């Protein structure tokens, strides 16, 4: 399918045709129509615009038709799908268009009345006994992006097997003529709308994850500054903190405004410290103990913590370890920690978590990158009873406890990190002190992620070439340190499904992992080290990263 097909088609609206006619750059047109957006376990993600490799109503309808075909192949009587969206440009329109396609295919639809956190969608899938869920979001990507994520009946993101079926069906279905749809006015006759009343069911489950509610009462006036970065956490994060008992919550007014252009930040990503500039100013005015930020679809959470009046960024790995230590420590003290307690983390997440679990007698299980794999372990534990899930996290600022949802939840994480801060305050300490205590006990752990960009329509080919080169010419040494062990997850090892991941353990215990991103044109390198001090650990990580990227640069 090419640009001429779209311009000549009666199925394409006039505004889209005008957009394409205005594009004079041949390379850009080629990129817009260089195949389909890849549909994987993370669904679709791409820049907004006209074309088969862009996010628009036609690519959304196309993916939804393939999903509808999968659902209808299951012959499920009275199948339902629930749909949510974030604050991004066109998110509401894309959500409504997905609903129109499902209705046209005889599938019942629940649609939230306005934007909602992605974890609430995950909860709703199982709570409402749906076969699937859809959320329109591009998570923490820049404003130019939007995306389409699919959840299956367990509330976790679509499995690789189901994702392959959907993508195969997309390839067989004409994007313009092969899609069944109805007008939104027609679809509204059968759509069931979920309003703010439904939020109570979700918030009740989040509040159940509190470990010591009395502790919150004692420290209720602890000051917490919160920003949703113009996204869907704007209402429910402050609400859950208030319901939990916190009484001194200050929001960043400019960033409470819902706006898909994210006008006050370069990127709406809680991993980036620069996005917290205004929050830090407000925190200093109020002498706040804690700053919390959530991304546009409110599944990821980042924090800054006070240290003698200065606010220090805490990484996703460090937040996860602070939460893990607080959960295990407090539940053990209260006698509520199961004997078979187990935490789950991804293979690119800090090994400090392993040391923490060993201290409290809990197990830890590693899974592939992506919270869906943590969700799979949660389901497995329920079936086998071998372990009791107590906490799951990934380095990319995703955290969850409890089994009410099967995806990372910033609403939960905001609540529990606030409770952990209250625990520290009760002892006259801060979360920064707690992190320093972990490093003093176990050594200073430092993690660095390097994004090796592969832009352009040949980006996927470059990514494949790099991974092939690393397999054909194995790395034996980096920065003067020998590789002790290489693991290739492509063949499916350690009980995990096949994945395009290479894992290197160095003789000094450091770990390097490289994998192509599933949603963006880049390869990600994870460097995980530890040493006696932060300076030494950072220096070691920088050396490994520099040596590895020199090899990758030469390979492509």
**Which residues are catalytically annotated?**
139
Candidates 209, 200, 491, 153; CA nearest to 330 is 209
The tokens describing 132, both together, are 């699937």
Helix (H) or strand (E) holding 384: helix 371-384
Of how many residues is the chain composed? 556
DSSP bridge pairs for 250: 225
Contacts 24+ apart (CB under 8 A), 364-370: 366/494, 367/496, 368/489, 368/496, 368/497, 368/499, 368/501, 369/394, 369/499, 369/501, 369/515, 370/41, 370/42, 370/157, 370/346, 370/394, 370/518
Number of H helices, E strands in the chain: 19, 21
How would you list the strands of the sheet with 310-314, edge to edge?
Answer: 249-251, 224-227, 290-294, 301-307, 310-314
Question: In a 3-state reduction of DSSP, which class is residue 399?
Answer: strand
For strand 522-531 and strand 511-516, is the pairing parallel, antiparallel, or unpaired?
antiparallel
H helical segments located in 391-533: 410-426, 431-442, 459-472
Both tokens of 233, joined, read 């956490």
* ∠ CA 411-362-381, rounded to 5°: 70
- How many Å apart are CA 282 and CA 270, to the nearest integer? 17
């Amino acid at each position: 399918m090419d640009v001429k097909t779209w311009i000549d088609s009666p199925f394409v609206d006039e505004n889209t045709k005008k957009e394409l006619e205005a594009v004079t750059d041949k390379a850009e047109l080629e990129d817009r129509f260089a195949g389909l957006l890849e549909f994987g376990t993370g669904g679709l993600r791409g820049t907004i615009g006209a074309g088969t490799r862009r996010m628009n109503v036609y690519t959304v309808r196309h993916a939804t038709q393939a999903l509808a075909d999968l659902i209808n192949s299951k012959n499920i009587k009275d199948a339902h799908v629930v749909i949510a969206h974030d604050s991004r440009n066109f998110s509401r329109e894309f959500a409504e268009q997905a609903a129109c396609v499902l209705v046209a295919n005889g599938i019942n639809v629940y649609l939230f009345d306005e934007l909602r956190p992605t974890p609430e969608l995950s909860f709703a899938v199982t709570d409402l006994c749906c076969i699937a869920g859809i959320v329109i979001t591009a998570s923490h990507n820049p404003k130019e992006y939007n995306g389409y994520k699919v959840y299956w009946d367990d509330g976790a993101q679509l499995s690789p097997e189901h994702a392959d079926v959907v993508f195969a069906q997309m390839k067989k279905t004409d994007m313009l003529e092969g899609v069944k749809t109805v007008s939104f006015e027609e679809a509204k006759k059968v759509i069931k709308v979920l309003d703010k009343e439904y939020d109570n069911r979700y918030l009740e489950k989040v509040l159940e994850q509190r470990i010591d509610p009395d502790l919150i009462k004692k420290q209720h006036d602890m000051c917490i500054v919160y920003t949703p970065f113009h996204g869907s956490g704007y209402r429910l994060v402050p609400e859950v903190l208030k319901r939990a008992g916190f009484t001194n919550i200050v929001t960043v007014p400019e960033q409470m405004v819902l706006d898909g252009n994210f006008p006050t930040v370069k990127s709406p990503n809680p991993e980036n410290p620069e996005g917290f500039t205004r929050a830090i100013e407000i925190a200093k005015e109020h002498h706040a103990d804690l700053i919390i930020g959530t991304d546009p679809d409110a599944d990821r959470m980042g924090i800054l913590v006070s240290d003698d009046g200065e606010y220090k960024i805490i990484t996703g790995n460090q937040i996860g370890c602070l939460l893990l230590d607080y959960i295990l420590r407090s539940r053990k003290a209260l006698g509520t920690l199961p004997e078979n307690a187990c935490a789950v983390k991804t293979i690119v997440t800090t090994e400090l978590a392993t040391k923490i679990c060993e201290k409290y007698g809990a197990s830890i299980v590693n899974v592939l990158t992506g919270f869906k794999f943590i969700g799979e372990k949660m389901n497995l534990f329920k079936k086998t009873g071998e372990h009791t899930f107590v906490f799951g996290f990934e380095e990319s600022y995703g955290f969850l406890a409890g089994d009410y949802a099967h995806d990372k939840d910033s609403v939960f994480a905001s609540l529990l990190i606030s409770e952990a801060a209250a625990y520290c305050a009760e002892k006259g300490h801060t979360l920064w002190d707690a992190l320093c205590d972990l490093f003093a006990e176990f050594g200073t752990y430092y993690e660095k992620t390097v994004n090796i960009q592969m832009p352009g329509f040949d980006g996927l080919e470059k990514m494949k070439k790099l991974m092939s080169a690393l397999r054909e010419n194995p790395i034996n040494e980096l920065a003067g340190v020998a590789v002790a062990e290489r693991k290739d997850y492509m063949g499916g090892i350690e009980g995990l499904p096949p994945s395009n991941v290479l894992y290197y353990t160095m003789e000094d215990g450091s770990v390097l992992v490289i994998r192509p991103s599933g949603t963006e044109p880049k390869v990600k390198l994870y460097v995980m080290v530890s040493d006696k001090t932060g300076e030494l650990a950072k220096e070691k990580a920088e050396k490994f990263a520099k040596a590895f990227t020199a090899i990758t640069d030469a390979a492509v």
